[in-house]
Amino acid sequence: MIVATWNVNGVRARTDAVIAWFTERRPDIACLQEIKTQDEGFPREAFEALGYHVETHGQKGFNGVALLSKEKPEAVTRGLPGGEGDEQSRYIEGLWRINGKPLRVASIYLPNGNPVGTEKYPYKLDWMARLERHASDLLERYEALVLAGDYNVIPEPIDAKHPQAWVEDALFRPETRRAYRRLVNLGLTDALRATTDADGTYSFWDYQAGAWQKNNGIRIDHLLLSPEAASRLSGAGIDKHVRAWEKPSDHVPVLIDLTA
């Protein structure tokens, strides 16, 4: 089964492209980020017509995450635990039962954190600490778990065409990368890097300065797997060609294939 993540950068502005990719790829579960709409504004009818169940955690104008799946989840959790008073819609989690076994999948839109010298960077690091605590709790369930989304983290220099250009950026700061490593070191597997160590493997290209044409990209969209999910990993990939479509998102879908 295919589980995918994609920051669509506005689902209403890019409905045609997103529907085209769903029609082409037919993911079993898709995690969307930056839907940029309240729940009632999500174009659910277009996806329901393709046979998908839609769960959203939206927000007017920005942020917002969604889970789209061929099968209806047994349970859905909206919001990352531990953030009393945090009104930003950045986390939604669903539980499915596949062939009698639980599969838990989260769609994550981790804060960008820029500019570093503002309150946005401490908020990013605090959010990452909350995610680490929640992931630790989820791992104690010994379920197949997929934490998928736009992490706004460049894990290693190999994950950027020009890593030196990102040294002071919130996506590549040492504090950010340490927080990401702490998360992974709980026992999670970076699905894409478990299948390839190739450089030039990116999921985001800025709209500016011909970044796409020059392949000046970064890898910031990740699927992290619990041991139970990693044992079922049969492949991973990036649908890079979607970036060349009309009115593209600056991100492209990243996906994994899990055995049933």
Cβ(230)–Cβ(187) below 8 Å = no
Place of tokens 């605590």: 133
Q: For residue range 8-29, list pLDDT tens digits in order.
A: 999 999 999 999 999 999 999 9
The residue to which tokens 């085209």 are assigned: 20
- What domains does the chain contain, in order, with CATH numbers? 2-258 (3.60.10.10)
Catalytic residue among 91, 121, 150, 221: 150
Q: How many CB atoms lie within 10 A of CB 241?
A: 11
- Strand-pair partners of 101: 98
Can you give the pTM of this predicted structure?
Answer: 0.98
Return the structure tokens found at 196: 């390839």
Q: What is the pLDDT of residue 83?
A: 86
pLDDT by residue (tens digit) across 139-179? 999 999 999 999 999 999 999 999 999 999 999 999 999 99
State residue 260's pLDDT score: 81
- 36 φψ region: left (φ > 0), alpha (ψ -120 to 50), beta (else): left
Where are the extended beta strands (E) located within 121-229? 144-150, 189-190, 204-205, 217-218, 221-225
For the chain, strand residue ranges (E) read 2-7, 29-33, 53-57, 65-69, 75-78, 91-98, 101-109, 144-150, 189-190, 204-205, 217-218, 221-225, 233-238, 254-258
pLDDT greater than 90 at residue 37? yes
pLDDT tens-digit series, residues 56-100: 999 999 999 999 999 999 999 999 999 888 999 999 999 999 999
Sign of the CA dihedral running 66, 151, 237, 182: negative
Active site residue: 28, 52, 91, 109, which one? 109
**Residue 109 a catalytic site member:** yes
pLDDT of residue 84: 87
pLDDT in tens, 55-66: 999 999 999 999
Active site residue 150: yes
Please report, as a single letter, which amino acid is at residue 228.
E
Q: What tokens were used for 6?
A: 């994609």
Q: What is the mean pLDDT of residues 120-137?
A: 98
- Which pLDDT score is estimated for 15? 97
